[in-house]
Amino acid sequence: MLATDIAAAVNAKELDPQEVLQRSLERIERFNGEINAFLRLNPRAAEEAARLKERLAAGEELPLAGVPVAVKDNISTAGLQTTCASRILREFVPPYDATVVQKLRRAGAVIIGKTNLDEFAMGSSTEHSAFGPTRNPWDYERAPGGSSGGSAAAVSAGMVPLALGSDTGGSVRQPAAFTGTLGLKPTYGRVSRYGLVAFASSLDQIGTFALSTADLALFTSQIVGHDDRDATSIKEDAPVFRPDPRRGRRMTVGVIKETLQEGNTPGVLRAVEAFREKLRQEGVSFVEVSLPSLQYALAAYYLVATAEASSNLARYDGAHYGSRVTAEDVVSLMKRTREKGFGAEVKRRILMGTFSLSSGYYDAYYGRALRVRRIIADEFASAFQKADLLLSPTTPTPAFALGEKLDDPMEMYLSDVDTVAVNLAGLPALSLPAGFEEGLPLGVQLIAPALAEERLFDVSALFELASEGAFLQNAPLE
């Protein structure tokens, strides 16, 4: 069942939230052994579901009443391990809930468990996890994307209708494209990062997965809004998103020409063109736009992201919390703890970031990347003077095979070529299913100006209506 249907039935007392939870748990038991989407389940989930009856009887309004939600394991959950899929945090149990988790509980959602990810959200395949890779529900030999691959796979496989992820350079949108789900990266600062374990603080944003536009809008509405505990949180009242296809028909969409050049598979190009044609028949206008500096986005992103990762991960030193390797002195303790605790990809990014921040190299690398970041943001702003939304592929290919890119970091990083610029500019973007290639789902990406998520939902709802919900009917598993 979709989240909107579950919440409506539970609120009307036509469906028992414990029954909803049990269905989800049965689905997880059936498929998670192969897929490895969940790292652990919430032992208090049944208790939380049972309490909902009392809350409903007391007259509480619960927009997500009884809806099981999965949480990426870099988002803090009180009393439930938050490991970031790393050995260095394998025993860490936070004393508090992230703001988004608090909001979901208040809305009546049931936190069912924590999902797998690339260690510290650094990766594009969910293979860089201390707890083994996640497999794509559409093909168990394929990657589900990353770093939020566990959350994407959990929704795609029907284990849960909704899941939280985080998106630093495409870590919600790329897995959404690979798994045939909807994935939203909101405007930077619109969703509180309090309780999200930091990777790159100026890029990180908590995002959402769902299987329908209505579900995604309802879900996102529950987690947006200002939070005093997050210094980057935008001061605004929390909006309620109500997708309207009629508004979508009045939109002008700019097609980013630089994203449709060589490097895309034929299926990806066909999916973008089919998406355009479907919406054109519904009245949407299209224009071509150019963002010439996009060619530098990937390089700028990996300089900014690794520099911030180097700083943020300095706290894992074996002295304060997390795992510790004993040694004869403090310096050796820190070295050995970090050597044993971090995986290869995390070490690679820390080294890259530390180098780019080092004396004599700061201006040549990090400083230059920040200037490119500003140029890219300005080019997006110019493009939005011609169009309400921008369109590109989400990824240049469908899901690749597990192990295919592990020995070639540059090839892995290129998986994010269409998504990283959005994070550099702090914009909202949505990946939605738009076709298949060799039986594997493909996604297209819609990008909106800051704080214009409603436009994304309107056009997504229009495409869903025009497609007669086709992408909802292609479940990978029975």
Catalytic residues: 72, 147, 171
Residues 43 and 21 sit within 8 Å (Cβ to Cβ): no
- The β-bridge partners of 446 are 391, 430
Q: How far apart are CA 306 and CA 123, in angstroms?
A: 12
3-state secondary structure 15-81: CCHHHHHHHHHHHHHHHHHHHCCEEEECCCHHHHHHHHHHHHHCCCCCCCCCCEEEEECCECECCEC
Count the neighbouring beta carbons within 10 Å of the beta carbon of residue 446: 26
Residue 363: DSSP 8-state: I
> Scanning the structure block, which residue is given the tokens 């619960």?
62
**Closest by alpha carbon to 167, among 369, 429, 370, 346?**
429
Q: How far apart are CA 203 and CA 193, in angstroms?
A: 11
Residues 148 and 166 sit within 8 Å (Cβ to Cβ): yes
Orientation angle between helical segments 45-57 and 3-11, nearest 10 degrees = 50
Q: How far apart are CA 120 and CA 88, in angstroms?
A: 10
- The β-bridge partners of 113 are 41, 70
Q: How far apart are CA 257 and CA 317, in angstroms?
A: 46
Residues 133 and 127 sit within 8 Å (Cβ to Cβ): yes
Could you tell me the two tokens for 229? 């505990």
Residue 199: DSSP 8-state: S
Burial 386-396 (b: 16+ CB within 10 A, else e): ebbbbbbbbbb
Kindly state the greatest CA–CA separation across the chain. 71
Instruction: Give, for 97, the enclosing helix (H) or strand (E).
Output: none
φ and ψ of 210, to 5 deg: -160, 180
Could you tell me the two tokens for 303? 């300089």
Residue 359: DSSP 8-state: T
Q: What's the angle, vertex CA 308, arms to CA 302 and CA 310, rounded to 5? A: 95
Residues 46 and 139 sit within 8 Å (Cβ to Cβ): no
Residue 13: DSSP 8-state: T
Residues 293 and 372 sit within 8 Å (Cβ to Cβ): yes
Q: How far apart are CA 190 and CA 442, in angstroms?
A: 27
